[in-house]
Amino acid sequence: MTSLLTVRGIVKTFPGVRALDGVDLDVAEGEVHCLLGQNGAGKSTLIKVLAGAHQPDAGELTWAGRPVAFPSPHAADAAGIATIHQELDLVPGLSVAENVVLGHEPSRLGFTRLRDAEALTRGLLLRLGHPEIPPRREVGRLSAAGQQVVSVARALARRARLIVMDEPTAVLDPNEVRNLFRVVRELTAEGVSVVYISHRLEEIREIGDRVTVLKDGATVARDLPARTTPTAEVIRLMTGRPVEHAIPPPSAPPGDEVVLEVEDLAGADFRGVSFTVRAGEVVGLAGLVGSGRSEIVETVYGARRATAGTVRVRGRALRTGSVAAAVRAGMGLCPEERKSQGLLLHESVARNVSLPALGRFARAGFLGPDAESGAARAVMARLDVRPADPSRPVRTLSGGNQQKVVLARWLLHGGGVLLLDEPTRGVDVGARGEIYALIRQLAEQGVAVVVVSSEIPEVLGLADTVLVVREGRVVHTAPAAELDEGKVLDLVMGAAHV
């Protein structure tokens, strides 16, 4: 294997933070090189250095045998490095084809040759196994998975020699993941290299060749074989301690009191959904992206209007389409898109935590300075939000801690019904275990919990009862103990087999 990219001793400091502190990385031609590390380990900063968005303070980059510097994103792009960011950087108002050729439009006399762009895009999408995406469709109207595919197509259109993929499967369902992996294998067979970042160790085992592990801005291990390095070893390297991230089993059966009753609920994307959640019970919704599972919880919560059916909390029916009514009745939602739906990123942790319960800290509408910071500090300590500073802006926290902030919000509000949509998306391995333990702990305190997740082991591990959702219908309901991953996968994919 010839080396394509060599990174040695990269250092990058920001005011007050040493984000990278001696990173080494070797990427060979035609390999899938996996980058592992907890949130805050420096992966994102490293990617930005490779993409030319950040200039390192020290260290060397070697590209195809020659020392290089990427003073601008354009320079990195010209050298042949394409980055597919976690937050997709597509222009939602432009068409698929326009996005694919953005910045490299085929043109004659200054006029974009849209027809050529569309032909090129159609070819790339076919190659990616997505011929159903029309090149003229506005990107903003595609699903998250569809947008992901467009990003990959864009990287391919630039004839990149190295593609950096930052958590590409976070928004994909198993089918789409398989498709992506097929594309990655084709690319590497053609000599393209891929730097692959994911929290899912199983994926790394499946697709990766070698692994480099970052911790606290430095490389702690490099060029480990991806398939054979034991999981425990990888986790030890990432966290500096061996962790048990298995989900703790429930210590007691749930109570008898029915807290949440959903009866014959229907919305735009689903119908006939009924289930109950008792105090202390965890009900899991398993299903693919687009199966209607997120729509179901959002409708239960009043964030979408139901076309039929009722939702009762402790026997009292809720007004449909009113989040305020649901929150008053004691519900809380940790939404799927934490940053865009859950958090006020520029505000402090305390202000994020106190949002629904703010009235409690006010006297006749008036708040003292930092009125809620004491209460916020207490609930942050309970959830071990780090750093334990309620005045810190939420955007500076890691994904796992941001998720804890949203949980803390509802813990402080104290309603008794918690709806969790993808509670561990974008959360690193160490924090995942903590969130699992927290959910378990809340259930044991009598909270009725509904969990939605695309990760079947997560649903099976957390839930007492599992509802399998497919194409807007609940196709199966059973105690988690009676199900295994294979069976749920079969049910989830049912339509594909028929």
Kindly tell me which residue out of 69, 344, 481, 495 binds another protein, with binding defined by CB under 8 A.
344
Task: Write the interaction track for another protein spanning residues 422-441; mark x where CB under 8 A is met and - where it is not.
Answer: --------x-----------
Residues 22-61 that bind another protein (CB under 8 A): 40
List the interface residues with another protein, window 194-223 (CB under 8 A).
216-217
Closer of 28 and 355 to another protein (Cβ): 355
> Which stretch in 176-184, 227-235, 289-297, 396-404 sits in contact with another protein by CB under 8 A?
396-404
Q: How many residues bind another protein (CB under 8 A)?
A: 55
Interatomic CA distance for residues 490 and 169, integer angstroms = 20
Q: Figure out which of the listed residues 30, 52, 342, 426 binds another protein, where binding follows CB under 8 A.
A: 342
Stretch that binds another protein, among 88-96, 122-130, 206-214, 393-401 (CB under 8 A): 393-401
The one among 1, 17, 78, 308 contacting another protein by CB under 8 A:
17
366 binds another protein (CB under 8 A): yes
In the region spanning residues 293 to 322, those forming contacts with another protein, defined by CB under 8 A, are 301, 303
Please identify which residue in 1, 78, 388, 481 interacts with another protein, judged by CB under 8 A: 388
131/122 Cα distance (integer angstroms): 7
Taking CB under 8 A as the rule, does residue 399 contact another protein?
no
Indicate the residue among 283 and 419 with the shorter CB distance to another protein. 419
Q: How far apart are CA 162 and CA 80, in angstroms?
A: 6
For another protein, the binding residues (CB under 8 A) are: 15-17, 40, 216-217, 239-241, 301, 303, 323-324, 326-328, 333, 335, 340-347, 351, 355-356, 358-359, 362, 365-370, 374, 377-378, 381-382, 384, 386-389, 391-392, 396, 398, 401, 409, 430
